[in-house]
Chains A and B, each alone.
Chain A
Amino acid sequence: MEHIRMPKVENVRLVDRSLSRRTQVGTLYLTATHTIFVGKGSEDRNELWVLHSLVCNVVKHKASQSGYPLLIYCKNFQVIQFIIPQESDCHDVYISLSRLSRPEKYEELYCFSFNPNADKAERELSWDFLDLKAEYSRMGLPNKLWHVTPINREYRVCDTYPSDLFVPKSVTLPVIVGSSKFRSRGRFPTLSYYCKENHATICRSSQPLSGFSARCLEDEQMLQAIMKSNPGSRFMYVVDTRPKLNAMANRAAGKGYENEDNYCNIKFQFIGIENIHVMRNSQQNLIEVSALRSPSMREFLLGLENSDWLRHIKSIMEAGIFISKAVAEEGVSVLVHCSDGWDRTAQVCSVASVLLDPYYRTLKGLMVLIEKDWVSFGHKFSHRCGHLDGEAKEVSPVMDQFLECVWQLMDQFPCSFEYNEKFLISIHNHIYSCHYGNFICNSQKERKDLCIKEKTHSIWPHLWENKMDFMNPLFKPDQGLLRPSTAPFCFKYWRSLYNRFDRELHPRQSELDCLMAVKEETQQLEEELALYEQKLAVLDKERAKTLYMQKGVLDSKQTLWSFPLDASLVNTPQDYIGGLIGAAPNVFSSQQGERESLFGDKPKCPDADNSDQESGVADFSSHSSGEESLPSEDSVKDPDSDETGLNRA
Chain B
Amino acid sequence: MELSEHIKTANVEDVTLRRPFHPALRGTLCVTSHHLLFSDRKDEASWQLLILLRNIDAIEKRTMGSSGTITIKCKDLLVLQLEIPGMEECLNIASSIEALSALESVTETYPFFYRPSHLNLHGPWGLSSTEQYYKQTERLWDRWRVSTVNSDFSVCPSYPRAVIVPREVDDEKLVQSARFRQGGRFPVLSYCHLRNGMVIMRSSQPLTGANRKRCKEDELLLQAVIDGSELGYIIDLRSAQQAQQARMTGGGFESKSCYSYWKRIHRHHERGKVLQESLIKLVEACSDPSHSVDRWLSKLENSKWLSHVHSALSTAGLVVECVERDGHSVLVHGSEGTDSTLLVSSLAQLILDPASRTLTGFLCLLERDWIQAGHPFQQRCAHSAFSHARLKQECPSFLLLLDCVWQVWRQFPLALEFSEALLLRLAQEVYASNYGTFLCNNEQERCAAGVKENTHCLFQSLLSPNIEEQYLNPLYEPTDLAIWPSVHPQSLQLWTGLFLRWTEYAQNMEEAREEMWSIMKEHREKAGPDRTNKTPSTHCDTLTPFENLMDELTIL
Contact = CB atoms under 8 A, between A and B. Distances in A.
B512 A474 contact: yes
Contacts of A43: none
Contacts of A302: 297-298, 301
Contacts of B49: none
B10 to A, nearest CB: 38
B505 interface: yes
Contacts of A599: 536-537
Nearest to B286: A489
Contacts, number: 190
Interface string B280-308: 00000010011111111110110010110
A609 B539 contact: yes
B413 A518 contact: no
Interface string B506-534: 00110110011001101100110001000
A606 B504 contact: no
Interface stretch (B108-116, B174-182, B366-374, B543-551): B543-551
Nearest to A498: B490
B136 interface: no
A529 B526 contact: yes
A414 B509 contact: yes
B104 to A, nearest CB: 37
B486 interface: yes
Contact of A301 (B300, B500, B511, B536): B300
B537 A514 contact: yes
A516 B492 CA distance: 25
Contacts of B486: 504-506
Given A414-B509, A508-B412, A518 B520 contact: yes
Interface residues of B, number: 64
A418 B486 CA distance: 29
A508 B536 contact: no
Contacts of A414: 508-509, 511-512, 515
Interface in B465-500: 475, 477, 483, 486, 488-494, 496, 500
B539 A488 contact: no
Contacts of B489: 295-297, 299-301
Contacts of A502: 490
Residue of B291, B413, B520, B541 with highest tally of chain A CB at under 10 A: B541
Contact of A489 (B296, B531, B547): B296
Interface stretch (A70-78, A89-97, A139-147, A307-315): A307-315
B540 A610 contact: yes
B496 A499 contact: no
A299 B509 CA distance: 29
B508 A308 contact: no
A66 B412 CA distance: 37
Nearest to B411: A507
B494 A489 contact: yes
Interface stretch (A55-63, A126-134, A360-368, A519-527): A519-527
Interface in A293-347: 294-302, 304-305, 308, 310-311, 314
A476 interface: yes
Nearest to B527: A525
Contacts of B490: 290, 300, 493, 495, 499, 502, 505
A476 B515 contact: yes
A238 B476 CA distance: 52
Contacts of A607: 538
Interface in B291-330: 291-298, 300-301, 304, 306-307, 310
Contacts of A473: 519
A412 interface: yes
Contacts of B541: 508, 606, 609-610, 612-613
Contacts of B520: 515, 518
B61 interface: no
Interface string A476-498: 10000000010111111101000
Contacts of B165: none
A550 to B, nearest CB: 34
Contact of A526 (B297, B494, B526): B526
A513 interface: yes
B527 to A, nearest CB: 6
B296 A488 contact: yes
Given A489-B494, A518-B519, A294 B488 contact: yes
B310 A525 contact: no
A525 B540 contact: no
B180 to A, nearest CB: 36
B415 interface: yes
A476 B536 CA distance: 23
Contacts of A301: 297-298, 300-301, 306, 489
Contact of A518 (B306, B511, B523, B542): B523
A491 B535 CA distance: 33
A19 interface: yes
A245 B421 CA distance: 49
A592 B528 CA distance: 12
A487 B494 CA distance: 14
A507 to B, nearest CB: 5
Nearest to B493: A492
Contacts of A42: none
A488 B298 contact: no
Contact of A514 (B475, B496, B504, B512): B475
B503 interface: yes
Contact of B508 (A294, A297, A412): A412
A21 B547 CA distance: 9
A396 to B, nearest CB: 20
B414 interface: yes
A391 interface: no
B317 to A, nearest CB: 12
Contact of B543 (A492, A511, A518, A614): A614
Contacts of B504: 485
A476 B496 CA distance: 23
A3 interface: no
B516 A474 contact: yes
Given A412-B508, A509-B415, A606 B547 contact: no
Interface in B181-223: none
Contacts of A490: 505
Interface in A247-295: 290, 294-295
B488 A514 contact: no
A590 B307 CA distance: 53
A510 B539 CA distance: 6
Nearest to B489: A300
Residue of B297, B410, B511 with highest tally of chain A CB at under 10 A: B297
A613 B541 CA distance: 7
A21 to B, nearest CB: 7
A115 to B, nearest CB: 35
Interface string A153-187: 00000000000000000000000000000000000
12 contacts: A301-B298, A412-B508, A485-B505, A489-B494, A507-B410, A510-B537, A511-B413, A514-B413, A517-B537, A521-B527, A604-B539, A606-B538
Given A516-B537, A613-B541, 14 more contacts: A295-B488, A301-B300, A302-B298, A485-B289, A493-B490, A499-B490, A507-B410, A515-B516, A518-B519, A522-B526, A522-B527, A592-B531, A609-B541, A613-B543
Interface of B: 286, 289-298, 300-301, 304, 306-307, 310, 410-415, 475, 477, 483, 486, 488-494, 496, 500, 503-505, 508-509, 511-512, 515-516, 519-520, 522-523, 526-527, 531, 535-544, 547-548
The 8 closest A-B pairs by CB, nearest first: A488-B296, A487-B289, A300-B489, A305-B297, A517-B537, A414-B512, A301-B301, A525-B526
